[in-house]
Chain A
Amino acid sequence: MQKVITINLNGNAYQLDESGYGALHTYLEHADAQLGGNPDKAEIIRDLEQSIAEKCLRFLGPGKSVVSTLEVEQILREVGPVDGGTTPSGHAAGQHTPHAGSDATTPPHPRRLYQIREGAMLSGVCNGLAAYFNVDPTIVRVAFVVSAVVEMAVTDDPPWITVMIYVLLVFVVPYAKTSEQRAAAQGASEGIPYKVQEVVERVKAKFGGLHHKAR
């Protein structure tokens, strides 16, 4: 169950899932930072809000009054990241200079690996990996199953290694609890100190000796 947040987009009320609201909030803050000292910033943000509002209508109908998180994320992908142009200033220049020269389609912030409970089959590991690599969660799940089958065929034993990898990820990868973390799992936020390398480090630190013991 998700809390619903009512927002005002250009004078009309829309209801969003709490985490959808988080993604939208992050997007608009990023837009605000990108536009920096742009004299038309307020107008551009209004135009963007209007576009987002019109796209929200597509998902609403007589039997549906709330825009879901996945729908918000789809809408934000359609609208695309705000391109501040060649004159980033102030806030924007300080935060986003490393990305200024890169292609506009690259995500503005590094992705973080999380477990995502929403839509998860077991713990959300595959769901999180899928969000991280921007693929369908089913592909990741199938990959795990294929890995297990291959391992069984090769070792003639139960697929211990595949199961172990999954269980390790369950224990080591944190849950995306806040809306910002859920946005970061899709590569839309910043400031969350979590990278794949750090996960690997945590695995090494926590379970460094386990591998040898298991053998």
Chain B
Amino acid sequence: MSAPPLNEKFASIRKGLLEFLILKIVASDKVYVADMLQRLSTTEFATQEGTLYPLLSKMRREGTVDYEWHESDAGPPRKYYKLTPKGKAQLDELNQYWAYINQTFDNLGRA
């Protein structure tokens, strides 16, 4: 069950963009991991716990996200992630950089 070649070409780009997207998701709402997976599941960036937990722990070490424990109705308490001020600053920077990359991409090759 291998992905089509075109999809393969973008695998590393998708992987690199995942952290950016997590910042965006966490910025919009207080979310726990199942929420994040759910929101990504219908996109090109669908991922799994095995990828997400190590990434979130790295982001927390770098100080861009943090979590708090909240009781849940069903089952044990959950970690809800939120953006730190540093994460907010990084997201703004990334948004600008992304716009810049898009601009470059659109302009290149034009007469």
The interface of chain A, by Cβ under 8 A from chain B, is 10-11, 31, 35, 38-40, 43-44, 47-48, 50-51, 54, 57, 78-85, 103-105, 134
Contact = CB atoms under 8 A, between A and B. Distances in A.
For the residues of B in contact with A, the DSSP-based class is helix
B43 to A, nearest CB: 16
A123 to B, nearest CB: 26
B56 to A, nearest CB: 8
Given A79-B49, A85-B58, A134-B1, 8 more contacts: A38-B54, A38-B57, A40-B57, A40-B58, A51-B49, A78-B49, A82-B53, A83-B55
A92 to B, nearest CB: 12
Nearest to A84: B54
B50 A80 contact: yes
A133 to B, nearest CB: 10
B110 interface: no
Given A47-B33, A51-B33, A35 B49 contact: no
For the residues of A in contact with B, the DSSP-based class is loop
Contacts of B47: 80
23 contacts: A38-B54, A38-B57, A39-B61, A40-B58, A40-B60, A40-B61, A47-B79, A48-B49, A48-B50, A48-B53, A51-B33, A51-B53, A78-B48, A78-B49, A79-B48, A79-B50, A80-B47, A80-B48, A82-B51, A83-B50, A85-B55, A104-B15, A104-B51
B57 to A, nearest CB: 4
